[in-house]
Chains A and B, each alone.
Chain A
Amino acid sequence: MINQQILKILHAGALRKPVVECAKLLQEARPELKFQLESYGSRACARQVREGKVVDILALADPMLFAELLGPEYVDKYYIFANDQIVLAYNEFSRGSREINARNWFDILLREEVTFGRSNQHLDPCGYRTLMVWQLSEQYYGRPGLFRQLDQRCRGDLIYPKSYDLASDVLVGKLDYAFEYLCVVNQFGLSYLSLPEKINLSNPAHVNYYNRSAVSLQGKNSGDMITIPGAPIEFAIAIPKNAENLILAKDFLDLILSKKGQQILEDCGLIPY
C-alpha cells in the first residue's frame, strides 16, 4: 500500500530540473504522493534497468538507448519529447573566457593553463556527443588532428560520470570549461559559447553532416562494442514494463508531455516537442 504512493523516477542528470518541477506540480494535486528521484548518465540508467532495477518512469538523454539497450524486453514504447544542443560552458573567471568565440574556442582550450572536461561516453550520452562535436569540428574548421589534440588534453579526472557534475565543477571554478547541454547550463546559470549548428548536434536539417561522426561504445553485453553515428540531440521518456505504479507513472508521463509540461521544459532550457 505504501509502495503505491511512491513514484520512482530514474532520469538523466540533465533532466533534473524539469523532472523536479513536474514532480512538484503533481504533488500539488496529490499531497500524499512521494517521489524517489535518482539521476545518472543515461547509459548508466539504462544499464541499471537491464540489471533489474525497478522504476516507474525512465527519462533518458538519447532515444537510441531505448532501442539499443531496453527494447522490447524492458520498454515497449517511449516518447521523444525534447531537443537540445551541445555548448561550451564556462564561468566568469574561466581562463580565456573574455576572448573566446565560435572561431577560436579550440585554440583557447588547447592552451597549457586551460582545463576543460567532458562526461564519460560509456555512461552518458553527453560524453559521446562531445566526442562527435570534436570530430565534426575537425572537418568544419579544417583542422586535421584537432580531435586527437582535444582528446589527449581531456583525460583521467577531466572525464566525469555525468554532465550534471561537470557543470557543477565549472560553477565552482574547478574547471575552466565543459562541453554541456544548453539545458544544464541554464539550470546552473553558467555562461556559455554557442557552437555552430553544423557541429552542435541540434538541428535535424544537418543530420547527414552529423552522421559523418561516429563513436564506439560498450554494447549490450560485456565485451561487445557498438558504433553509433552522430544525430540530433533528443530526450525520451517511458514507463518500463516492470513499473509498480502504472497509474501514477501515467499521470507523470501525461504531465511532462502536456502543454504545462512543455512550458516547464522550455523554462528549463529545453526545446519541447
Chain B
Amino acid sequence: MKEEAQNPAFAYIAGRIDKMLVPALLNFLAHKPAHGYELIQKINESGFSEIEADPATIYRNLRRMEEDGLVLSQWETEHTGPARRSYQLSPEGHQALEYCVQLISDKVNNMTAFLDQYRQEVKER
C-alpha cells in the first residue's frame, strides 16, 4: 500500500477522496466498460459523489485518469451507426480502486470511532 501511495495518481486520489468522484468512476468501470455519457448518468443517479457530475468535470477526470494509466479508452468501431469513446479499467485502475476502498474504509472506521465516542461520552452523559 505504501508503494502504491507514492504513485502520483494515487496521491491525487488520496487528496480528493472526500469528493468521491474518482472512486465512483473506478467502481462503475470495474463492473463494465462504459462511455462518458453513461458514466455521467450513473454518477448522478448513485449519489456517491459530492461533486456535481457535469460533463466538463467527468470528461476532464476521465482524461486525467487515462493519462495516469488508470483507464484505457478506445472508440467503439465494430458496428455501424453512432460510435463513442469507451473507457475500461486498466490493471492499475483496479489497484487504484482497491486503494480507494482502503482509504474509505479507514475513514469509515475513524468516523465510526468518533460517533461511538460521542454517544458514550457526550450524548449519554
* A interface with B by C-beta (< 8 Å): 63, 66-67, 71-72, 76-81, 83, 197, 202-205, 207, 232, 236, 257, 262, 271-273
Contact = CB atoms under 8 A, between A and B. Distances in A.
A80 B38 CA distance: 13
B102 interface: no
Contact of A202 (B54, B75, B81, B83): B54
B56 interface: yes
A77 B84 contact: no
A262 B63 contact: yes
Interface of B: 35-38, 40-41, 43-45, 53-56, 59, 63, 75, 77, 80-85
Contacts of A72: 80
Contact of A204 (B40, B77, B83, B85): B40
Closest CB pairs A-B (n = 8): A205-B44, A76-B80, A204-B40, A83-B55, A273-B85, A79-B83, A204-B37, A271-B55
B38 to A, nearest CB: 8
Main secondary structure of the interface of A (DSSP, over half): mixed
B55 A77 contact: no
With most chain B CB atoms within 10 A of its CB, the pick from A67, A78, A83, A207 is: A83
A193 B44 CA distance: 24
Contacts of A202: 54-55
B84 A80 contact: yes
A86 B36 CA distance: 20
Nearest to A71: B81
B26 to A, nearest CB: 19
Contacts of A207: 41
A89 to B, nearest CB: 19
A205 B53 contact: yes
